[in-house]
DNA sequence: TTGTAAGCGTTATCAC
DNA sequence: GTGATAACGCTTACAA
């Protein structure tokens, strides 16, 4: 049975110094690894150990203008891709002795802008932002961000901000070409909202592939889901199946694809025999769906890692010129699209 | 093209005060909603608006001893259950004007203890911890936590700490009884590591159900996975199938169950016809697997919400007696266990 | 090397 | 109501 009394006040540097018979300055130096006589060093260390001293984060930040925290703002932690990004970022941050402040924006632009503006409070040393849609307001805020900023996503070259982008347009194109190679001719697209940057890019990639292979474009084959969730993917696929026939289907992310698989099953269509399906993100879902899901790897974890590294560099050198990193897309072929009884 | 010059120094309260022709004290009062003459009020507000003033987080925390941050330490953001908890906690925290600091512990006890001890740095106002395994060292740290603490999980009654627990033992029992009701007689258990609290509880629940219904216990039917992942669930299920025959399977969480479904498919066993499967957590995966997964809802989101609320209360009143909240388990029946050709 | 002292930007306690 | 002013706990010139 432990007590619930008020905590004893946390030990301060002053107490450590007194206990070690040195000045606060010396104590501070020791604890920051600045040159001191071995004797004072051991005295301070012993004193600190004895009282269980740990520096107060607020005081240290106020003085040193470094919080030791970075923020990560993403649309939705529940989406496996973003979850894996969060994990990767937390890992790298942790290795650098840095804490992670998490913001779920719900893909709300106002929320995103609010976070950007809140940087003026200096509660973090920098921000990694994953916007779903980059508006003019975003670009303006990027330019005047009060702390180092790295954007994960596509940003016009003219905007001076560090960014790491996936090539989802090419990724989409890759996957459609893959389906064509498999002998599919009526390839549907289940896209996310066109107002989002990914939705826009993936549509272009889909069209690119058709154009490059001189396929006729048929808008009946294109359907837009309410959002990037499995449920929306299921609904969109059902709408698609109601009005047309298809033998291939590209979905703008894995969640949409998971929903699509379900819809196809309900419609009695075999995957991949009757309809081959490809998702995008190569998230943890790909081995959980059945059949296992062919998916475009957009290098989410890699992008996340680059983003933190870029951010930490930027924090150390705020003047360095903005950097753009592009991560290539790679198709991971699995059961949902590999051949069919009669290819 | 925006610039990458050094930021102009952020406006301070002193500047706002000067601009408004009042003292810093008055400016502070206005911005904290403390009684002031309407005239000074509007002057200060106007000045603050004009320079885009936002209070410096570190300075405010140092003085007020409140950081406006809470921490959430969980085993792994990539597990959908924890991701949904993180989301729920972030939401509630956000509503209360509070930021969320995320720690992925990787289910490492040392990491968890480290976070508890780090509370002395006072970088957050409180912590919500999800330990996978509560050791004696944990209990000791709970007792001397340097900040309000809420544990999501099972903690001995004798330990004075706020906690919100799921009833996974009963949940496991429920699901096994459900399988028995469906006419299943050889019911396997794919468990997570027994060193974890959940693993331990779920095993007990499984045995409870067998005992209550006077079934013979057969240890061949029990298999322990390496960890709580889909891949480990697949491997464990394959081991199980290699040495025995079963017509029902309870898995200690949804990820394990997803892996099990895959293993059963590879073994050519139909679900639910030949083997009925039940998972646990009722996570976002249940509608993505095929067949859709019967699962025990342990009220993760509800527990997460309770946890934040408890924490925020505790922060406001550190002296109140510790509270224990228990959230009931509820079985959600889906296709993976509902009847069979010959029930 | 070490100590003294000046802040960092707030909030809160006083007198007025 | 308001304005000086003293903390909060730390880092860092500067002087010794």
DSSP string, A283-308: -GGGGTSSSPPEEEE--HHHHHHHHH
Average pLDDT over residues B188-192: 98
Tokens of B115: 């976070």
CA A158, CA A163: separation in Å to the nearest integer? 12
Residue A208 DSSP SS3: helix
Query: What digits encode the pLDDT tens for the residues A104-160?
Result: 999 899 999 999 999 999 999 999 999 999 999 999 999 999 999 999 999 999 999
Tokens of B263: 């293993």
Q: To the nearest whole angstrom, how far is the Cα of A76 from the nearest Cα of chain B?
A: 8
Q: Which of A1, A86, A122 sits opposite B158 (nearest CB)?
A: A1
Query: What digits encode the pLDDT tens for the residues B103-143?
Result: 999 989 999 999 999 999 999 999 999 999 999 999 999 99
Would you say residue B2 has pLDDT above 90? Answer: no
DSSP string, B93-129: HHHTT-EEEEEE-TT-HHHHHHHHHHGGG--SSEEEE
Residue-level pLDDT at A3:
44
- pTM for the model: 0.95
Contact A83 B100 (CB under 8 A): no
Q: Closest nucleotide to B27's CA, by C1' atom?
A: D2
In this structure, is the CB of residue A22 within 7 Å of any atom belonging to strand C?
yes
Residue-level pLDDT at B338:
87
Would you say residue B343 has pLDDT above 50? Answer: no
The DSSP 8-state label assigned to residue A8 in this structure reads P
CA A69, CA A93: separation in Å to the nearest integer? 8
Question: Touching check for B12 and chain A: CB below 8 Å?
Answer: no
Question: B105 CA, C7 C1': separation in Å?
Answer: 38
CA B163, CA B157: separation in Å to the nearest integer? 10
Tokens of A200: 């826009």
Average pLDDT over residues B268-285: 97
The DSSP 8-state label assigned to residue B309 in this structure reads H
Q: Quick one: which residue's CA is nearest to C3's C1'?
A: A23
The CB density around residue B133, as the number of other CB atoms within 10 Å, is 18
The CA–CA distances, whole Å, from A71 to A83, A291, B321 equal 14, 37, 34
Question: A275 CA, D11 C1': separation in Å?
Answer: 65
Query: What digits encode the pLDDT tens for the residues A281-326?
Result: 999 999 999 999 999 999 999 999 999 999 999 999 999 999 999 9
Summary mean pLDDT of chain A: 94
Residue-level pLDDT at A285:
97
Which of the residue ranges A26-40, A239-253, B283-297 would you say has the lowest mean pLDDT?
A: A26-40
Residue-level pLDDT at A7:
64
Question: A222 CA, D11 C1': separation in Å?
Answer: 61
CA A64, CA B206: separation in Å to the nearest integer? 55
Q: Which of A61, A90, A265 sits opposite B104 (nearest CB)?
A: A90
Average pLDDT over residues B143-171: 96
Query: What digits encode the pLDDT tens for the residues B62-76?
Result: 999 999 999 999 999
Contacts of B144 in chain A (CB under 8 A): 2
A89 phi, psi to nearest 5 deg: -65, -40
Residue-level pLDDT at B60:
97
| Cross-strand bridge partners of residue A104 | A74
Residue partners of B224: CB distance under 8 A and separation at least 6: B191, B192, B193, B194, B199, B236
Q: In this structure, what is the dihedral angle of CA atoms B305, B311, B317, B323, given to the nearest 10 degrees?
A: 80
Summary mean pLDDT of chain B: 94
Under the banding of pLDDT at 50, 70 and 90, the label for residue B7 is low
Q: Closest nucleotide to B60's CA, by C1' atom?
A: C10
DSSP string, A39-65: HHHHHHHHHHHHHT----HHHHHHHHS
Residue-level pLDDT at B336:
98
Residue-level pLDDT at A6:
55
The DSSP 8-state label assigned to residue B336 in this structure reads G
**Residue B58, CA atoms < 13 Å, CB-side half-sphere:** 22
Would you say residue B303 has pLDDT above 60? Answer: yes
Question: B37 CA, C16 C1': separation in Å?
Answer: 17
């Amino acid at each position: 049975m432990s007590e619930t009394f008020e905590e004893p006040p946390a030990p301060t540097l002053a107490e450590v110094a007194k206990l070690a018979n040195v000045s606060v300055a010396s104590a501070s130096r020791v604890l920051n690894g600045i040159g001191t006589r071995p004797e004072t060093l051991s005295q301070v260390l012993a004193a600190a150990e004895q009282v269980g001293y740990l520096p107060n984060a607020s005081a240290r930040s106020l003085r040193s203008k470094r919080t030791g925290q970075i923020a990560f703002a993403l649309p939705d932690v529940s989406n496996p891709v973003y979850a894996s990004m969060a994990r990767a970022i937390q890992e790298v941050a942790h290795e650098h002795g840095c804490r992670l402040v998490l913001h779920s924006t719900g893909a709300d632009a106002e929320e995103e802008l609010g976070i950007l503006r809140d940087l003026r409070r200096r509660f973090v040393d920098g921000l990694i932002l994953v916007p779903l849609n980059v508006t003019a307001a975003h670009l303006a805020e990027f330019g005047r961000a009060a702390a180092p900023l790295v954007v994960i996503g596509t940003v016009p070259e003219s905007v001076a901000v560090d960014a790491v982008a996936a090539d989802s347009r090419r990724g989409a194109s890759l996957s459609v070409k893959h389906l064509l190679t498999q002998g599919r001719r009526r390839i549907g697209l289940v896209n996310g909202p066109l107002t989002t940057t990914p939705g826009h890019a993936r549509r272009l990639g889909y069209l690119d592939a058709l154009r490059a292979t001189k396929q006729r474009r048929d808008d009946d084959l294109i359907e837009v889901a309410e959002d990037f969730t499995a449920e929306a993917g299921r609904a969109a696929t059902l709408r698609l199946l109601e009005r047309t026939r298809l033998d291939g289907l590209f979905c703008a992310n894995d969640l949409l694809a998971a929903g699509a698989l379900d819809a196809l099953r309900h419609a009695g269509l075999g995957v991949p025999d009757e309809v081959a399906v490809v998702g995008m993100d190569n998230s943890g879902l790909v081995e959980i769906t059945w059949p296992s899901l062919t998916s475009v790897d957009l290098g989410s974890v890699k992008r996340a890692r680059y983003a933190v590294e870029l951010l930490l560099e930027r924090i150390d050198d705020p003047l360095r010129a903005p950097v753009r990193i592009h991560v290539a897309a790679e198709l991971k072929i699995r059961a949902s699209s590999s051949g069919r009884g009669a290819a």
